[in-house]
Amino acid sequence: MNQTNTMKDLLTAERPYEKCEHSGAGSLTDAELLAVLLRTGTKGENVLELSRRLLYEKGQGILGIHQLDMAQLRQMKGIGRVKAIQIACISELAKRLAKATASETLSFTCPASIAKYYMEEMRHEKQEHMKLLMLNSKSHLLGESDISKGTVNSSLITPRELFIEALQKNAVSIILLHNHPSGDPTPSRSDILITERIYQAGLLIGIDLLDHIIIGDNCYMSFSEAELLGTKG
């Protein structure tokens, strides 16, 4: 017999909708929250069982959702086109909610504030991404640009490409921001060399490099806070 395995198939005590209604969304487990959003399971597996498997099959829990793109999701048993889209949208919504919350306290003169704002967007990336933040004389953001994806090293990133864009925006100062997929924000030798080259070039052009912030796994490192700007590494 072909079974749909919808939320209605679950025992009353296991139905996340009813649990949420009676006790609030905060009472739901990660698997139950995911089940509410996915709505249906697959043949031989109800939606709650499917949600548990998605979260814990690889042992990563809810953070593992951020690590899977739609192609990877569709390779998993029970995940077709619609569910892959649903999960991808859940992940993106979580990132945007975190960023919107962090925006309330965002200050481009505070490294911790900047790191918090970009944390969820960047910490789950599997490759290194570097952003250029361009600021005016009041330290307000004029614009941001992705300047490197996949590899961040001194041979691929040159001061010229950064400052051309900064000059076009009439920026007075800039901030560099990039992630370490390993989760450890400790700067590499290459990170230090890049930062020093751009800092020195900025002195000549008249556009200050205020900071270079490295995003790790829910942690960060700031060259400004560590007093590493303007050193020779």
Contact 76, 54 (CB under 8 A): yes
pLDDT recorded at residue 233: 46
pLDDT recorded at residue 1: 39
Q: Helix (H) and strand (E) counts for the chain?
A: 9, 5
Q: List the alpha helices (DSSP H) in 129-226.
A: 159-168, 189-205
Domains of the chain: 7-99 (no CATH), 106-222 (3.40.140.10)
| pLDDT tens digits, 141-160 | 999 999 877 665 544 677 88
Q: Which residues of the chain have pLDDT under 50?
A: 1-4, 12-13, 154-155, 233
Using left for φ > 0, alpha for ψ between -120 and 50, and beta otherwise, residue 119 falls in: alpha
| pLDDT tens digits, 173-195 | 999 999 999 999 999 998 998 89
Burial track 183-192 (b if 16+ CB lie within 10 A, e otherwise)? eebebeeebb
Q: Which pair of tokens denotes residue 122?
A: 């960047």
The dihedral formed by the CA atoms of 22, 28, 32 and 37, expressed in degrees to the nearest 10: 80
pLDDT recorded at residue 6: 58
The number of beta carbons lying within 10 Å of the beta carbon of residue 227 is 9
